[in-house]
Amino acid sequence: MQHPRTSTATPAHRPPTAPTTRRGGRLAGVAAALTAAVALTTLGGTTAHRPPTAPTTTRRGGRLAGVAAALTAAVALTTLGGTTAHGADNPYERGPAPTEASVEAPRGPYAVSETTVSPLAVTGFGGGTVYYPTSTADGTFGAIAVSPGYTGTQSSIAWLGPRLASQGFVVFTIDTLTTLDQPDSRGRQLLAALDYLTQKSSVRGRIDSTRLGVMGHSMGGGGSLEAAKSRPSLQAAIPLTPWNLDKTWPEVATPTLIFGADGDTIAPVATHAEPFYTSLPASLDRAYLELNGATHFTPNTSNTTIAKYSIAWLKRFIDDDTRYEQFLCPLPRPGLTIEEYRGNCPHTS
């Protein structure tokens, strides 16, 4: 197995911001300004016996001026709250504002490091490679475990490691206990990998354990559905040309993006990806992207379409970063690389 050791992407980090919400920031500003207004009017009511001052205002005029000044401050504060960087509103946002070029680029704004996890050092899965942003300046990151498919090893999905990590995630590409493991086993192994990553790994301090997701190819994709079914707290699931004998997934409560391939003869979309998607709850944030001119093994090599929409989905639902909604809603239109796209807009999670 060969893995790229580092990424040469130039870090572009934003300092950590206080975990306030946009609504909370605005309301706090208004509250502070109105408190100032009350203080000013109270002050106006207690100065009746002060020595005379320059005859520029009356007591009533002074009170009104104080209120006006405080309300002006309130407006200024709420306006400021609406124009600050998104990082001030959402403490989970990482990296600069995205563009089409940034989500399609081979590497994102973060330099990436990696560490190998020996199968002898873990239980419940077969070890793997962890890719993570080198800098800790932005605080913690969401994390994703990725499973290979039937007879495959982590080398078959290794390209996703540095590509996703450079966008601001900790990514664990795993080996399974055996290459013949079935989807339900792969689902359990994905969860075991996340547990190791957040509880015992050398990078656990870099991870926000409340923001986790799963991905997988083929039976690993079927395994990602199994993992989402078993652990509803997962924030995102992305099955890639998935295979599973179970065709219905009404129990899944995790926002799920399913990739199918129009030329897939191993897990044909008509009997795998499409029924998986349609069986997900209609109330769930879900999407189905069918790759054009693709095969079952397209996810095994670097692919801009897979990367772009995976990054957008993971950012939107693991980081709650609505800056990436623009790539998902309105629904992407069919084109050179997309045969079909289905989904719900706007997203509600």
Q: Where in the sequence numbering do the catalytic residues fall?
A: 218, 264, 296
CA 43 to chain centre: 49
Residue 170 token pair: 């900790």
Long-range contacts of 248-254 (CB under 8 A, 24+ apart): 248/275, 248/279, 249/225, 249/276, 249/279, 249/280, 250/279, 250/280, 250/281, 252/225, 252/228, 252/280, 252/281, 252/284, 253/228, 253/281, 253/284, 254/213, 254/228, 254/284
Secondary structure (DSSP) of 159-218: THHHHHHTTTEEEEEE--SSTT--HHHHHHHHHHHHHHHHHTSTTGGGEEEEEEEEEEET
Contact by Cβ (8 Å): 235, 228? no
